[in-house]
Amino acid sequence: MLRKTLSLAAAVAMLALAAPTASAATSVSFTPQSVLGPGVPRDGSRTDQNVVALGTVTLDLTATQSAQVVSVMRVNSATVRTLFDNEIVCSWAGGGKNAVLGQNVYQKGSGSPQWEDLTLTTSQLVHPGVAARVTCTAYVRTASLGWDDSTVNLVSGSLRIAPTAGRAIQAAVPVTVPLDAQNPITRQPAIPMFDVPARTLDVVADTEYMVCNTSTPCDKTKTSKAAFTLIVNQWKADGTLCQTDSAAVTADTPYWVHHVVVPLKLTGFPVKTDNGCIPRFNAYVLVKWLSGQTGAVQGVAANLTDARGSTGRHNSDMSAIYVVPR
């Protein structure tokens, strides 16, 4: 009996060693820290960006699931005006998807406190299309906008990932869309007509608006004013409109901020089933240039460095929109 007991214990131990490792966290809080912003290279070479990993989450998905990934970062107390980007880099066996949003944070004591303390939220959907483990890492990207190095305080933040049902309903703006008095309107980012069964929809849209298109003259003492309206439509079987809802904001952005994140959300958009309404929708951001300097809706950020000094490069979505059916 003693031998059998020892054998059983050994077998249990062997099974424990052979069991798969438990999944890493699906949410993580960032450690507050001071982050270096490298100064502008004096030799005129490409801007030197610092890239700091803040936290990683993982999630196992089935072939029919997607995941919503959300990174929140708050920074302040910059010693020099500094580029601040909040980036999510996700990967799985055979694929990956990235998103980044950012703007310039003013130095402490600039006299413009609304630009000195920034909280940016970057989010996206990922859908491998096969059973896969998705791993996502949040990075803060920084660069001083002066010759001297800067520091900026990462005050707080978090990264989380959660499963959603079905394919990822989303779209990103592929290339930058200029806006001015001659071309004042665009409907980007946008999701064309799609069908999805749901009781409600959550719609998230982030527009990265750039002040002064680099190919045009710019008065750096002035601003660019634009209106942003997220519009969500449901349609009837005969092709007529069933219902619509919207959320809007107007932004007047100084040149020295340079590019500003304009977040818009519609949560709990109710899906109607009467009067010929069917679960068919479209969604977009209507951007209207109003006055001041030229502007642009920024497209995909291309050739970002994987790490400071790295020769590896990748692309990340910027202006984008997605839908989570409930």
At residue 152, φ and ψ (nearest 5 deg) are -140, 145
- Band the pLDDT of 213: cuts 50, 70, 90: confident
Computed over every residue of the chain, the mean pLDDT equals: 92
Does residue 70 surpass a pLDDT of 70?
A: yes
Residues 230, 283: contact at Cβ < 8 Å?
yes
Residues 119, 153: contact at Cβ < 8 Å?
no
- Band the pLDDT of 24: cuts 50, 70, 90: low
Name the strand (E) or helix (H) holding 213.
none
Q: Which of 42-46, 167-171, 241-245 has the lowest mean pLDDT?
A: 42-46
Q: What is the pLDDT of residues 89-114, one digit of tens each?
A: 999 999 999 999 999 999 999 999 99
Report the pLDDT value the prediction gives residue 255, as an integer from 0 to 100. 97
Contacts of 38 (CB under 8 A, 6+ apart): 48, 49, 50, 142, 143, 144, 149, 308
Q: What is the pLDDT of residues 187-206, one digit of tens each?
A: 999 999 999 999 999 999 99
Residues 42, 144: contact at Cβ < 8 Å?
no
CATH fold for the domain made of 168-326: Jelly Rolls (2.60.120)
Classify 22-167 by CATH class: mainly beta
Closest CA relative to residue 204, chosen from 68, 17, 28, 96:
68
Above pLDDT 70, what percent of the chain? Answer: 93
Mean pLDDT of 138-156: 98
Does residue 170 surpass a pLDDT of 70?
A: yes
Token couple for 155: 């005050």
Distances in Å between the alpha carbon of 160 and those of 63, 67, 127, 163? 20, 10, 16, 10
Beta strand ranges found along 166-199 (DSSP E): 169-172, 177-179, 185-195
Domain boundaries, the chain: 22-167, 168-326
- What is the SS3 string spanning 91-159? EECCEEEEEEEEEEECECCCCCHHHCCEEEEEEEEECCCCCEEEEEEEEEEEEECCCCCEEEEEEEEEE
Does residue 282 surpass a pLDDT of 50?
A: yes
Q: Which residue has the tokens 């409600």?
A: 200
